[in-house]
């Protein structure tokens, strides 16, 4: 994907985020921030009877990369088991964001929502 298309896709998610809001009640409920950039996220998720992610919502404030990544992640997480989420890493996030190679300064922004999801699953006792 060209650089411009990548930017456009990020901006589109930033301005029109998917799954923006709070799930109540939720099995996973976590707030996390990225102090190096000032990004903040509140992520809630519900699991189905098999323990897979049935729905995810997020709200927060931050840079385009952090918010666009959160929006894309909420779409990518549905149907995944906690162990599958736990195996996801930077490469998966970069691929999710259109195959971009993130600069060092942007990695924490892009990973915030995934890290929050993993921590939230752990806090909820869904991951060892």
Nearer to Zn ion, 57 or 69 (CB): 69
Nearer to Zn ion, 38 or 51 (CB): 38
Lookup: tokens for 128:
């060892």
Nearest Cα neighbor of 111 from 84, 87, 85, 93 is 93
CA distances for 66 relative to 31, 103, 127, angstroms: 14, 13, 24
State the nearest-atom distance from the C-beta of 109 to Zn ion, in Å.
Answer: 3
Backbone angles phi, psi at 100, to 5 degrees: -75, 150
State the nearest-atom distance from the C-beta of 57 to Zn ion, in Å.
Answer: 20
List residues near Zn ion by CB under 5 A. Answer: 37, 39, 63, 66, 109
Nearer to Zn ion, 15 or 87 (CB): 15
CA 128/CA 111 separation, integer angstroms:
20
State the nearest-atom distance from the C-beta of 81 to Zn ion, in Å.
Answer: 28
């Amino acid at each position: 994907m060209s650089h411009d298309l990548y930017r456009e896709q990020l901006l589109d998610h930033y301005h029109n985020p998917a799954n923006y809001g709070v799930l109540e009640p939720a099995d996973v409920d976590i707030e996390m921030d990225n102090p190096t950039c000032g990004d903040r996220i509140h992520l809630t998720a519900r699991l189905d009877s098999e323990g897979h992610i049935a729905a995810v919502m997020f709200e927060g404030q931050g840079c385009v990369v952090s918010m666009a990544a959160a929006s894309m992640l909420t779409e990518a997480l549905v149907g995944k088991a906690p162990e599958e989420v736990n195996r996801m890493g930077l490469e998966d996030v970069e691929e999710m964001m259109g195959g971009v190679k993130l600069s060092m300064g942007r990695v924490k922004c892009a990973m915030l929502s995934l890290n929050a999801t993993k921590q939230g699953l752990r806090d909820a006792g869904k991951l060892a």
